[in-house]
Structures are given as structure tokens and as C-alpha cells.
Amino acid sequence: MTQNQQQILGDTMTFLISILIRHPEIATLNFDPQKRQIQFTYIIKGAYSKQKEEELSQKLRKAIRIYHTMEKNSAFSYLDIYWKNVLQFSYLIVIRDLTEFTLDELNFMNCLIKEYIPELLPADSNEKWEESSYLQEEIIGYALDDMKAENFDKKVIAFREEGRVMVFSK
């Protein structure tokens, strides 16, 4: 791995770690550099009906599209929302293309999800990070800009385990 590739991997890991620290409602993140997409997974206590899942998916799609219209971002192209049910949990998976994704959209999307889904399970408390939330936002913003500008070929996944954030590259 070249020094440039190591720098890009470091930026990607910083981005994913910072998001998970700042947003405890996100359970896992996957970055696919070939598709230039980032996948967010949220865990919900209880299995939702297909009708409820579709209703929530439509609300999220509509709100995110309206957000982009208001931000005058005509380049909006990829948003996928789907659900998985495992035992007594539902998993909400949101996939966005990295080229158009912004920090403000992430904050907007998380506010919507927390409002629409009261059964959302936060993975960790972020009370200890409240004081540094501005710093975390800055780190996420810079790392996101770096990821958008660079080409990288390794998939990266970040998730929580026993109060820690784990990051792996594939």
C-alpha cells in the first residue's frame, strides 16, 4: 500500500469512526469505494410490518429529496432504503452516493429517523462527546471532503462492539 493509499485509508477510517461517535443511533457504516456509496444501518427494537416499513421508507425518501431540492442540489441521484427483520429487531439500511452526500444531509437524515422511529436503539450514549460535538462535526466534514476527492479501492466497515468502534478494511 502506497503512502497516498494509507492516507486515504486513514481519512476513511477517521470519517467512519467520527460518525459513529457523533451519531450513536447508527449501528454500522459500510463504505464501498468502487460504487462510491456509504451504507448506514440502524437497529430498531421490534419487527415492523411491511406496510409500516414502506410508509417510513417513503417518508424518508420524500424528505431527503425535498431537502436536496431546497439546497438546490440538482445532482441528487442515488438513495436506497430497505429493511431486514431478524428475530425481534428490524434493521433500516440507507445507502447514499458519496459524491453528493453532505454532513448537513447526515444530520437531517438522523433527525428524521429519530423522529419517525421512536423504537430506534442507540448503540452507545454519546454524553461524553457532547462537549466536543463541534470538533467531531469538523473532523467529519474534512474527512468527507478528502474521501470525495480521492480514489480508493478497499471497502471499509465500521461498527460498535462493547462500547468501542471497530473498523476493518476488506
Model confidence pLDDT, tens digit, residues 120-133 = 887 555 555 454 56
Dihedral sign computed on CA atoms, order 10, 11, 12, 14? positive
The stretch 21-27 carries a mean pLDDT of 89
Q: Which domain holds residue 59?
A: 3-169
Query: What pLDDT was estimated at residue 129?
Result: 47
Predicted TM-score (pTM) of this structure:
0.86
The stretch 133-139 carries a mean pLDDT of 73
pLDDT band per the 50, 70, 90 thresholds, residue 60: very high
Give the count of alpha carbons within 13 A of 133, CB side only.
10
Total number of domains constituting the chain: 1
The stretch 1-7 carries a mean pLDDT of 73
* Backbone Cα Rg of the chain: 16
The Cβ of residue 139 has, within 10 Å, a number of other Cβ atoms equal to 18
Contact status, residue 156 vs residue 30, Cβ threshold 8 Å: yes
Model confidence at 23: pLDDT above 70: yes
Task: Quick: pLDDT tens for 72-90.
Answer: 766 567 889 999 998 889 9
Residue type, 18: S
Could you please report the per-residue DSSP string of 42-56?
EEEESPPPHHHHHHH
Nearest Cα to Cα of residue 83 among 52, 121, 118: 52
